[in-house]
């Protein structure tokens, strides 16, 4: 699968494949031509991915071949033990959680999980959690607190699910309660946006000491489509909305909301899951190590100061 702005990249890739096929069938040496094309391909990928428009970033962030939470869990951590359920209603598979090991220490992992195919997506509700998902996440975070272990939260959701059951069981309350409790959790918490972080549904597992963002991930108060539908009165204006919302990792790093951009392999994380995981592992291990040095008092004071400073207004 390729995205529309990748047309030139795909064309070169096809030329390479044709040449290799030709070489295979006729025994011709095409190595010089292939070398030239491969270098051209790499240059083009680099150039394309360094200059994505905000809406193109949105497409990459939602790429169906992009690694999801459990793909990183398998590559970044060891000794993974998934834990299920909120102990109140059911297990919401749009959020996964459990113990794992990172750099010799145990950590609690929380993450929104999209499905890879239709069958899995029905089970995981396309990564859109219900209240019980947020309550499971909090239960596990409080378990981490009990044992003095750090929490790592993977953000990747189109939003909390807007449905009947979701509202009946208090999606607003579930998210609100997580915000309050995460802000007073007495262990280090780090979040990393790996794909799309949309609205309160993302923030519900996102009140953390550090916010990392993968290079091509996005974080926003509303999707560009939703914003365009309301403010431009048509979802067709999504590109304008994507520009205006300042939702890319680069934009959010520039205004200090994102603490660190985690670089992705050339052409995006979907091109090389292992390489993307390696870079993320280093960033997470380093970030958690820094936070572990702080006393609980200092940790909380820093967390509060971080959030209390966010905003822009005029005094007049």
Partner 1 sequence: MAWFRKDKKPLKAEDRRDVPTDVFDKCKGCGEILYRERLAQNLNVCPTCGYHLRIGAHAYISILMDAGSFEEFDADLRAADPLGFSDLKDYPTRIAAAEAKGKNEGLLSGTGTLEGIDVVLAVMDFDFIGGSMGSVVGEKIARAGLVALKKKIPFMIVSASGGARMQEGIYSLMQMAKTSTVLARIHDEGLPFISILTHPTTGGVTASYAMLGDVNLAEPGALIGFAGPRVIEETIKQELPQGFQRAEFLQEHGMVDRVVDRRELKAMVGTILRHQFAGWSD
Q: Based on the shown chain and the rule CB under 8 A, indicate whether residue 153 belongs to the binding site for partner 1.
A: no
User: Looking at 168, 282, 290, 292, which residue binds partner 1 (CB under 8 A)?
Assistant: 168
148 touches partner 1 (CB under 8 A): no
Contact flag: residue 99 with partner 1 (CB under 8 A):
no
Among 221, 282, 286, 302, binds partner 1 (CB under 8 A): 221
Task: Name the minimum Å distance from CB 160 to partner 1.
Answer: 7
Q: Cβ closer to partner 1: 174 or 277?
A: 174
Which of 219/273 has CB closer to partner 1?
219
Listed ranges 100-108, 138-146, 220-228, 282-290: which one lies at the site for partner 1 (CB under 8 A)? 220-228
Identify the helix (H) or strand (E) that includes residue 146: helix 131-146
Q: How many angstroms separate the CA atoms of 175 and 131, rounded?
A: 7
CA distance readout (Å), 76 to 69, 199, 206, 225, 309: 10, 26, 20, 33, 32
How far apart, in whole angstroms, are the C-alpha atoms of residue 311 and residue 308?
8
Cβ neighbours for 247, distance < 8 A, ≥ 6 positions apart: 54, 57, 58, 218, 219, 220, 224
CB of 180 to partner 1, least distance (A): 4
The correct pick among 24, 46, 167, 290 for binding partner 1 (CB under 8 A) is 167
Question: Cβ distance 242 to 260 under 8 Å?
Answer: no
If one asks whether residue 224 binds partner 1 (CB under 8 A), the answer comes out as no
Report yes or no: 183 and 203 within 8 Å, Cβ to Cβ.
no
Question: Residues in contact with partner 1, total (CB under 8 A)?
Answer: 56
Residue 30 CB-density burial (10 A; 0-12 exposed, 13-18 middle, 19+ buried): middle
Q: Are 218 and 248 in contact (CB under 8 A)?
A: yes
Q: How far is the CB of 44 from partner 1 (least distance, A)?
A: 31
- Rounded to whole angstroms, how far apart are CA atoms 241 and 108? 36
Per-residue contact string for residues 13-52; x = within reach of partner 1 by CB under 8 A: ----------------------------------------
- Binds partner 1 by CB under 8 A, chosen from 5, 89, 126, 177: 177
Phi then psi dihedrals of residue 234, to 5 deg: -165, 135
141 binds partner 1 (CB under 8 A): no
Shortest separation between residue 247's beta carbon and partner 1, angstroms: 7
Strands 105-112 and 151-157: parallel
Q: Which residues of 48-84 are buried (b: 16+ CB within 10 A; e: fewer)?
A: bbeebebbbbbbbbbbeebbbbbbbbebbbeeeeeee
CA dist., res. 238 & res. 43, Å (int): 29
Q: From the CB of 156, what's the least distance to partner 1, in Å? A: 16
Nearest approach in angstroms of CB 269 to partner 1 is 22
The contact set with partner 1 (CB under 8 A) reads 160-164, 166-173, 175-177, 179-181, 183-184, 199-200, 203-204, 206-207, 219-222, 227, 230-233, 240-241, 244-247, 252, 255, 257, 303-304, 307-308, 310-316
């Amino acid at each position: 699968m390729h995205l529309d702005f990748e047309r030139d990249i795909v064309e070169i890739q096809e030329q390479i494949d044709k040449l290799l096929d030709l070489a295979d069938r006729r025994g011709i040496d095409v190595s010089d031509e292939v070398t030239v094309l491969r270098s051209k391909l790499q240059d083009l990928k680099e150039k394309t991915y360094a200059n994505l428009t905000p809406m193109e970033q949105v497409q990459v962030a939602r790429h169906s071949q992009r690694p999801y939470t459990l793909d990183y869990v398998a590559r970044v951590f060891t000794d993974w033990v998934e834990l299920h359920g909120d102990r109140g209603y059911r297990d919401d598979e749009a959020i996964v959680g459990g113990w794992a090991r990172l750099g010799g220490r145990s950590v609690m992992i929380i993450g929104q999980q999209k499905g890879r195919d239709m069958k899995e997506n029905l089970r995981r509700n396309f990564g859109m959690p219900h209240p019980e998902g947020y309550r499971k996440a909090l239960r596990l975070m409080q378990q981490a607190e009990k044992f003095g272990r750090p929490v790592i939260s993977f953000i990747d959701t189109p939003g909390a699910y807007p449905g009947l059951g979701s509202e009946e069981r208090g999606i607003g309350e579930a998210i609100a309660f997580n915000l309050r409790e995460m802000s007073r959790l007495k262990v280090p918490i780090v979040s990393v946006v790996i794909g799309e972080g949309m609205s309160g549904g993302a923030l519900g597992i996102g009140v953390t000491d550090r916010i990392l963002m993968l290079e091509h991930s996005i974080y926003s108060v509303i999707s560009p489509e939703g914003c365009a539908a309301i403010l431009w009165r048509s979802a067709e204006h999504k590109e304008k909305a994507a520009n205006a919302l300042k939702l890319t990792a680069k934009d959010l790093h520039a205004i200090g909301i994102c603490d660190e951009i985690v670089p992705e392999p050339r052409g995006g994380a979907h091109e090389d899951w292992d390489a993307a995981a390696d870079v993320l592992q280093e960033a997470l291990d380093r970030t958690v190590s820094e936070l572990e040095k702080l006393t609980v008092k200092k940790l909380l004071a820093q967390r509060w100061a971080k959030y209390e400073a966010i905003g822009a207004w005029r005094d007049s």
